[in-house]
């Protein structure tokens, strides 16, 4: 187990750095909106996790890199202490990017010594495993945040030539029928999962049908051209308020230039490919499109029940389920208990994974969650009836 965790640690930490290789130094700092964090902050926060939850409490020989980093790079853990407000992360021109890389190296060296020579009980192994999966989550946030930062630039800069995470197509069509009955929902295995997947329980489902394919750019363009963003009857009331107040007229990164549609990819501004799978869509838009088509979004339980017979993993798929605890959900003591439970309000569940998800970070029981107005993740639409 020790050798496995060391290899997992090294592989995970190197991948975060590889995602930043194409960046210029100026790209590490901006924070255009509150829900997008700077690349520099992601690199530091994922390092702080191991320092705060593994090295400080369990490695008596560990020396802090900088005492102020706990305040600067704590994200939302109230039990750990005060922190920089989320909307101020981009104000931190110092510490420098060079110092952040030195911080990562300092912690990585300490973690390697600790994992190689320390006594790693099951509790410590679990914390390290959680930290690595936490970094996987931040790797996905890192690349989506980088895209947002670059995508707001009118020059539409190229992150990396040929690097396009939205160019997938469907391989299936039609609807899958799922008979009514009882299904087990939630994680029941022995490997890693998050606490919000636990509490495996039985749910009764009515018979339903679910699309084998995700909605494409061409299908969504029909909705736009039919005046979908101008007709309130397709929208939930909150969604209609969002459309009007935010002046949203299309998915994020879509641009209409002289009557032709383009979308910003990490490879630059490219013509919109009609048959590629739609991306960067909010729950409000997903629900409005489904209503316009005469369908609906699946519940997260329907999605999980059908998942083994579906092709999934290209887009996070909005469901109609609010993010709530499963029966018997228990919040752990201490700061680690703040990981998921306190966010179970005013958010919607997405299932599956996306083309930006870190390798090995996919499970059919995985419950992603975001506020319904957010578009910046690689999110898409699967219809149900």
* Mean pLDDT value across residues 1-27: 94
The answer as to whether 164 is a domain residue is: no
Tell whether 258 and 361 lie within a shared domain. yes
What is the span of the domain harbouring residue 72? 2-151
Q: List the structure tokens of 116.
A: 């190689």
Q: Beta strand pairing status for 348-352 and 368-370?
A: antiparallel
pLDDT for the residue numbered 332: 80
The answer as to whether 163 is a domain residue is: no
Tell whether 187 and 314 lie within a shared domain. yes
CA gap 299, 349 in Å, rounded = 9
Look at residue 2 and tell me whether its pLDDT is greater than 70. Answer: no
Please report, in angstroms and rounded to a whole number, the separation of the first and last CA atoms in the chain. Answer: 45
Q: List the structure tokens of 384.
A: 């149900």
Neighbours of 298 (CB within 10 A): 27
Give Dmax (Cα) for the chain.
Answer: 65
| pTM greater than 0.75 (yes/no) | yes
Tell whether 201 and 310 lie within a shared domain. yes
The answer as to whether 96 is a domain residue is: yes
Tell whether 332 and 192 lie within a shared domain. yes
Number of domains in the chain: 2
The answer as to whether 8 is a domain residue is: yes
CA gap 297, 295 in Å, rounded = 7
Residues 274 and 218: beta-carbon distance below 8 Å? yes
pLDDT for the residue numbered 336: 74
Q: What would the pLDDT profile of 53-95 be if each residue is shown by its tens digit?
A: 999 999 999 999 999 999 999 988 877 788 999 999 999 999 9
Q: Which of 135, 151, 167 is the last residue of a domain?
A: 151
State the CATH number of the domain containing residue 287: 3.90.1580.10
Identify the bridge partners of residue 201 per DSSP, sorted by sequence position: 185
User: Which stretch of DSSP H or E encloses residue 8?
Assistant: helix 2-20
Q: What would the pLDDT profile of 187-197 be if each residue is shown by its tens digit?
A: 999 999 999 99
pLDDT for the residue numbered 207: 98
pLDDT for the residue numbered 121: 93
Neighbours of 63 (CB within 10 A): 8
The answer as to whether 157 is a domain residue is: no
Tell whether 122 and 183 lie within a shared domain. no
Q: What would the pLDDT profile of 349-363 be if each residue is shown by its tens digit?
A: 999 999 999 999 999
């Amino acid at each position: 187990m020790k050798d496995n965790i060391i290899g997992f640690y090294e592989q995970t930490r190197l991948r975060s750095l590889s995602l930043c290789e194409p960046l210029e130094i100026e790209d590490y700092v901006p924070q255009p909106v509150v829900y997008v964090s700077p690349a520099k902050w992601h690199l530091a926060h994922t390092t702080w996790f191991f320092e705060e939850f593994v090295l400080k409490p369990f490695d008596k020989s560990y020396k802090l890199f900088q005492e102020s980093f706990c305040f600067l790079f704590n994200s939302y853990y109230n039990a750990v202490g005060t922190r920089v407000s989320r909307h101020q992360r981009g104000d931190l021109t110092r510490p420098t990017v060079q110092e952040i890389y030195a911080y990562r190296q300092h912690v990585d060296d300490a973690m390697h010594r600790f994992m190689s020579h320390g006594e790693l009980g099951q509790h410590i192994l679990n914390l390290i495993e959680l930290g690595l999966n936490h970094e996987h989550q931040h790797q996905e946030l890192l690349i989506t945040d980088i895209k947002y930062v670059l995508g707001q630039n009118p020059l539409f800069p190229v992150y990396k030539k040929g690097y396009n995470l939205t160019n997938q197509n469907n391989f299936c069509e039609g609807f899958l029928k799922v008979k009514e009955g009882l299904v087990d929902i939630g994680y029941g295995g022995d490997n890693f999962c998050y606490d919000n997947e636990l509490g495996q329980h039985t749910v009764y489902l009515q018979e339903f049908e679910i699309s084998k394919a995700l909605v494409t750019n061409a299908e969504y363009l029909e909705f736009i051209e039919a005046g979908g963003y101008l007709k309130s009857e397709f929208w939930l009331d909150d969604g209609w308020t969002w459309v009007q107040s935010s002046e949203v007229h299309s998915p994020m990164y879509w641009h209409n230039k002289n009557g032709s549609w383009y979308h910003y990819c990490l490879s630059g501004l490219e013509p919109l490919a009609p048959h590629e799978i739609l991306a960067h869509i909010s729950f409000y838009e997903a629900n409005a499109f489904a209503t316009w088509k005469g369908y609906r979004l699946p519940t997260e339980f329907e999605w999980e029940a059908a998942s083994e017979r579906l092709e999934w993993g290209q887009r996070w798929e909005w469901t109609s389920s609010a993010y709530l605890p499963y029966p018997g959900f228990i919040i752990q003591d201490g700061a680690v208990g703040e990981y998921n439970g306190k966010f179970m309000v005013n958010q919607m569940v997405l299932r599956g994974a996306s083309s930006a998800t870190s390798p090995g970070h996919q499970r059919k029981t995985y419950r992603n969650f975001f506020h319904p107005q957010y578009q910046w993740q690689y999110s898409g639409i699967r219809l149900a009836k």
